[in-house]
Amino acid sequence: MRNLLAILLLSILLSNCSSRQNDQNSLTIFHAGSLSLPLRAAIDSFIRYNPEVTINPEAAGSVECARKITDLNRPCDLFFSADYKVISSLLVTGHADFFIPFATNRMVIAYSPKSKHADIIDSLNWPTILLRSDVAYGRSDPNSDPCGYRTLLLFQLAEKHYRMVGLAESLEGKDNQFIRPKEVDLVAMLETSAIDYLFIYESVVKQHKLNYIPLPDSINLGNFSLAQHYGSVQVKIRGNSPNDSITIAGEPIVYAFTIPKNAPNPLLASKFATYFLSDTGGMALITKMGQQSLIPFSCTSCGSVPDDFKEFIR
């Protein structure tokens, strides 16, 4: 009987040791939906060189990802956000000490060959086309996803650009039944003609080989020389509590990541992040899949950037 107990105890100890060892080789990554394909490619590439590592990516709107950390206390090793402000506003300093900006993007309007009026829509007449009663368009939830609140900022900038009083309010008030938690949730709806048009990032349309309408720089949030112009508009999204709100001012699109304070494996997270930032690693994939690299990055308010990432500072 004693021998049996001893064997059972040894088995439990070995199992626990194996579990801890496996945990040390495991990463959980929360990330923006628009990073799903490039991040998956970076993960696959990293694992080829580190086959003992298991990486579990979990996609959601960036704001929703942040709230998994702040509200639900869910541990994750890396958080890749479509907007650095989600990290700086919701995580720093209570849940993270820094962020690393790594890429930019542009807003566009995606459509399919079957979209109504696809033969005549362009970067000049799209506001009139989208407001037609026979046209349906989708956008993501501004309270969950940066693409959602960037779409609202885009509406305001379009009103200024086209000098169409009331355009932003009209666009925001139409087709709200097609709002979804993140922008990539709407791609299938576009492909099946459930909607005709979709406000989304240029990188996503390139990855999914979608037709799209490029927008003027004064609208698309992709030109850093127009930062002051973008800053002339703003929207409010839900804050950390039901009675709280956060004001988001327009500015050029900047993606960023952080290693949260509750990261179970910060050393392995840092190793993956370093690979992700390298020219021959993740950033090569990011640029190949339609985004523009910001590495080496320049940032005076990124928090306490760890020494592991100092080589990537301009």
What are the tens digits of pLDDT across the range 275-307?
999 999 999 999 999 999 999 998 889 999 999
For the CA atoms of the chain, what is the radius of gyration?
22
* pLDDT tens digits along 46-68: 999 999 999 999 999 999 999 99
- Per domain, the residue ranges of the chain are 2-104+255-312, 107-249
Q: Tell me how far apart the alpha carbons of residues 256 and 204 are, in angstroms, rounded to a whole number.
A: 17
* pLDDT tens digits along 239-253: 766 678 889 999 999
Percentage of the chain beyond pLDDT 70 is 92
In Å, how far from its chain's centre is CA 216? 22
Asked if domains 2-104+255-312 and 107-249 share a fold, the reply is yes
- Name the band, by pLDDT with cuts 50, 70 and 90, for residue 25: very high
107-249 folds as D-Maltodextrin-Binding Protein; domain 2 (3.40.190)
Mean pLDDT of the chain: 92
If you ran DSSP here, which 8-state letter would residue 258 be given?
E
Q: What is the torsion angle, in degrees rounded to the nearest 10, for the CA atoms of residue 210, residue 63, residue 300 and residue 225?
A: 40
Q: Tally helices (H) and strands (E) across the chain.
A: 13, 13
> Helical H runs in the chain?
2-24, 36-49, 62-70, 84-90, 126-130, 146-162, 167-173, 187-191, 202-207, 217-220, 227-230, 266-277, 282-288
The CATH number of 2-104+255-312, from 3.30.420.40, 3.40.190.10, 3.30.70.20, 1.20.1050.10, is 3.40.190.10
What are the strands of the beta sheet with 26-32, ordered from one edge? Answer: 54-60, 26-32, 78-81, 255-258, 100-104, 292-293
Q: Tell me how far apart the alpha carbons of residues 286 and 30 are, in angstroms, rounded to a whole number.
A: 17
